[in-house]
Amino acid sequence: MFMPTIKKPENVCFWCHEEVDELTQRRVVDDFNKYYRPCPSCRAKMESDPDSIMIYEEVEAPGLIDQSDLDGMYPTGRWLLMKRNAFNDIFGKADNDLWEASEETHSVGVSPQIYAILIEKVFS
């Protein structure tokens, strides 16, 4: 079994690992608890396109010591922005739960398998 050996310091951004003075809340909808609050630079990227959804990879076990969970799952730190209509084309029919979650929060966690598929779609 994998045992995490690294702990995230409080003033380090979970998403880019940069040390910052203050972590921020996302403007759109802050569904992230304190542990996952982005630094100003990551936040600007996350909010750069209002027509996009932030998609982050999540797994069932923590990768860091004392990692806080997000709805029972643990983000890995990998994320991307995807146009809402592209997202809806894929998940609107295939996965109603994912689609509804994204409507509320403008972000959604997906398994590594789905994340790999989305990476291909976004960057192809």
Residues that bind Zn ion (CB under 5 A): 13, 15-16, 39, 42
In the complex, least distance from residue 20 CB atom to Zn ion, rounded to whole angstroms: 7
Distance between CA atoms of 74 and 67, rounded to whole angstroms? 8
Distance between CA atoms of 92 and 14, rounded to whole angstroms? 29
Residue among 52 and 91 whose Cβ is closer to Zn ion? 52
In the complex, least distance from residue 124 CB atom to Zn ion, rounded to whole angstroms: 26
In the complex, least distance from residue 75 CB atom to Zn ion, rounded to whole angstroms: 13
Residue among 26 and 106 whose Cβ is closer to Zn ion? 26
**H-type helices in 1-124, by residue range?**
40-46, 84-94, 96-105, 112-123
Number of residues that this document lists for the chain: 124
Residue among 15 and 56 whose Cβ is closer to Zn ion? 15
